[in-house]
Amino acid sequence: MPHIALHGCMTPFELRAGLEQKDITNGFGNRFLMVWAERTCLVPLPRATAPEAIARLARRAERVIRFALGTYPMTKYTRELRLTPDAETMWCSAYRSLKRREPLGETVTALLERRAPITLRLAGLFALTDESLMIEARHLAAALAWSRYHRDSVAFVFGAEVEQTRQAIEQSDRRQKLRDYLAGRDWVIRSEILSRALGGKVTASDLNGVLQAMLADGEIEQKQEARGGAATNTKTFYRASVAREIDAKDAKHAQDGVNADPESGRTTAKDAERRTSAKAKDAAGVVCREVIG
């Protein structure tokens, strides 16, 4: 049976734009071994490859191809590849992970659907390169390494947007948990935020990201206090921004005033506006005193 091998190079943008959704889901896209490649160096004046090196590689390639052909096409299936016992054990151990669904979404999962047979074919090619009909553990180990890089390449090209979306959703959820926890509380330390507000299920890096984002947006405030009288030994405290809390409360009071019946004696819109202005000035004074003090 004749086989066709394709080799091509393109940018991730071209690949994502040119590969239609039906090509991803109908089994066409996952027939290709996709690997991400980068330039490793810049050579302004590259030298030509030595002719003897080219000839040596050509002779080796010819020898491997003749070995793999056997008596083909006079006789079919003359070269049967088999796994050694060690390689078979390794394959059975790795097979389940090769067939596992990917957490980065349906696109990445579909493009890796043939990852297991591609890995086994790579191992067979490595054995044939050694002019052997037995796939040894070292051949399979090399194939599994390529398979992992294949998986990482597909995830990098097609899963980046999914991963960014997942991270954004997680951070939004953590910010809301922190808002709810800090509401009405005074200054709290980082360890309390981690254990009580976020349940201790956040890495230090992710916690930093949440705190920095909320500080940048003015949702929380921070202060540092010296411990043990040493200026270099400080502890950081956080709380909900005073101005933000007042804004939220006054928005509700203002809405209540707009909807109030003047005859009922409840707060009017003008009263709510007056109180909002006064509280905003008080908040500004609190912030200024803390900054100065």
Chain segment 37-60, per-residue pLDDT in tens = 888 888 899 999 999 999 999 999
Residues 184 and 117 in one domain: no
Do the domain assignments include residue 199? yes
Last residue of a domain, one of 115, 136, 158: 158
Q: Give domain status of residue 244, yes or no.
A: yes
Asked if residue 174 and residue 136 are part of one domain, the reply reads no
- Is 27 a member of any domain? yes
Same-domain status, 108 and 224: no
- Residue 192 — pLDDT band, cuts 50, 70, 90? very high
In a domain, 4, yes or no: no
User: 125, 158, 191 — which closes off a domain?
Assistant: 158
Q: How many structural domains is the chain composed of?
A: 2
- DSSP sequence for 160-180: HHHHHHHHHHHHHHHHHHHHH
Helix (H/G/I), strand (E/B), else coil: 59: helix
User: Two tokens at 72?
Assistant: 């083909």
Pick 142 or 288 by higher pLDDT.
142
Residue 127, domain member (yes or no) = yes
Write the pLDDT tens digit of every residue in 65-118.
999 988 887 887 778 899 999 999 999 999 988 988 777 778 888 999 999 999
Structure-block tokens of residue 207: 């916690």
Averaged pLDDT for residues 159-168: 69
Compute CA distances 86 → 83, 140, 199, whole Å: 8, 10, 45
Has residue 45 been placed in a domain? no
* Residues 84 and 141 placed together within one structural domain of the fold: yes
Same domain, 154 and 129: yes
* Stretch 284-293: mean pLDDT: 37
177, 269: one domain: yes
In order of 82, 175, 217, 243, the CA distances from 250 in angstroms are: 76, 22, 19, 10
Same domain for 144 and 233, yes or no, is no
pLDDT above 70 covers what percent of the chain? 77
The verdict on 99 and 231 lying in the same domain is: no
- Upstream peptide bond of 46 is cis (omega within 30 degrees of 0): no
Q: Are residues 17 and 148 in the same domain?
A: yes
pLDDT at 85: 96
The 10s digit of each residue's pLDDT in 251-277 is: 454 445 444 444 444 444 444 444 444
Over pLDDT 90: what percentage of the chain?
45
State the residue for tokens 């390689």: 87
| 137 within 8 A of 86, measured Cβ to Cβ | yes
What does the pLDDT look like over 116-153, one tens digit per residue?
A: 999 999 999 999 999 999 999 999 999 999 999 999 99
Residue 78 within a domain = yes
Residues 118 and 238 in one domain: no
What would the mean pLDDT of 155-167 be, rounded to a whole number? 74
End-to-end CA gap in the chain: 84
Indicate whether 64 and 151 sit together in one domain.
yes
Of 158, 192, 225, which residue is a domain's last?
Answer: 158
Q: What is the CATH number of the domain that holds 266?
A: 1.10.10.10
- For residue 231, name the pLDDT band (cuts at 50, 70, 90): low
Checking if the pLDDT of 290 tops 60, the result is no
Helix ranges (DSSP H) in the chain: 12-18, 21-25, 51-69, 85-98, 106-111, 115-129, 137-158, 160-182, 190-192, 204-216, 242-259, 269-292
- My answer on whether 154 and 16 are in the same domain is yes
Per-residue pLDDT at 163: 65
Which residue range(s) make up the domain with 204? Answer: 170-292
Say if residue 29's pLDDT is above 50: yes
